[in-house]
Amino acid sequence: MSSTKISSIQAIALVLIVIVNHLLLSMTNNITSSTGSASILNSIYVFIFALVLVALIVKLYKNFAGKDILDISQFLGGKILKTVVGALYIIYCVFILSLVIRALAKDIKLIYFNDFELGTIIFLILLTSVIVYNFGHSSVSKCALIVVPIMAIIILIVAFGNADRFSFERVFPLLGFGVNETFFMGLSNIFAYSGIGILYLIMPMLKDTKDFKKISFISIIITGILIILSVGSLALSFPFIESITEISELFVGVQHISFGHVLQRVDAIFVLGWVLAILAYSSVLIMFIVLVFSKLVNTKPVTPMAMVFASLAFIFALLPKNANVVSFLDSVVYKYSSIALIIVGSLLLLIFANIKYKKLNKKSEV
């Protein structure tokens, strides 16, 4: 499998494909259900916090150009810390992959393929993803680069296509469930920016590591815009958006859109783009899982590894038998594991690694 370097725009697509897929599923519902009528205000507030977070990550990475989070972990705590961090990233990515694929497969089954078994749809998605992965890192990133603009346009259509249904009275009370839920507890919605995790892994893949700052800020700004528009559109269009849990909230929104006789089935286009997005997403996650694993065991990434991890994702995707369990995994486990590993844990590693780096530099100067 080829592992050629990728361009800045491909790197941005790798970050965005993660966000887009989470946005297509339950992210907006998680945000609106926790903040109520203050969901738009909360989204803007969390976006500002995410910008500060990324600025800090970029600053901390200046001493570790060309290194990923595994290299930094080894510098900080040796092979043991590197192994622990790598294992946590693999477990997290396999868990998220299985959760997202199950959610998408369930929605596709409900919309179009009632006669198909859930396992069959999941298997076909993972099989296609492994095939895409087999063509190499560049092909995976190019696939993401093609899909991201398509899905961004679809999300924008959903955001503005429901403009005639907007009621600005729905933003009141302005602070939703209260100051605490909007600004303190509401800060937990930073999980929506879990695509930041890709930034911790992508540095060695870049053609020019000097572009890391540009990649980071462009990715997070586009992410913030898409999240704010999606949350805003649904919050203004539906008085009880928190009750929409059976299927993707954005799909519910797109069902109300038509462009006269020219384009009446926007929902069909949405589902097609949705399928392409999940294929690109799963290929990207499989690529990073294999990269992390191969770095831990000091071997080259090969397709059989991708098949093993895809099989694990398939098994985990079918394990939950109860809808309440799936909802708990999505709204609680995914949310707080993203915060613990991606937002807090990896940032602390960077901070402590920089402290050690500066101490070693001071000793060498002496």
The CATH number of the domain holding residue 100 is: 1.20.1740.10
Within a domain: residue 364? no
pLDDT, tens digit, for every residue of 154-182? 878 777 776 777 777 777 787 888 888 88
Q: What is the pLDDT of residue 327?
A: 80
Within a domain: residue 128? yes
Per the structure, the complete domain to which residue 278 belongs is given by 8-359
Within a domain: residue 159? yes
Within a domain: residue 39? yes
Within a domain: residue 184? yes
Q: What is the pLDDT of residue 177?
A: 81
Within a domain: residue 365? no
Counting Cα atoms < 13 Å in the Cβ hemisphere of 274 gives 27
Separation between Cα atoms, residue 26 and residue 249, nearest integer Å: 7
Q: What is the pLDDT of residue 246?
A: 55
The number of distinct structural domains making up the chain is 1
CA proximity to 314, closest of 98, 151, 100, 130: 98
Task: Please list the ranges in the chain whose pLDDT falls under 50.
Answer: 241-245, 262
Q: What is the pLDDT of residue 243?
A: 47
Q: What percent of the chain has pLDDT over 90?
A: 47
**Is the Cβ–Cβ distance between 301 and 150 less than 8 Å?**
no
**Is the Cβ–Cβ distance between 280 and 20 less than 8 Å?**
no
Say which DSSP state 246 is in: S
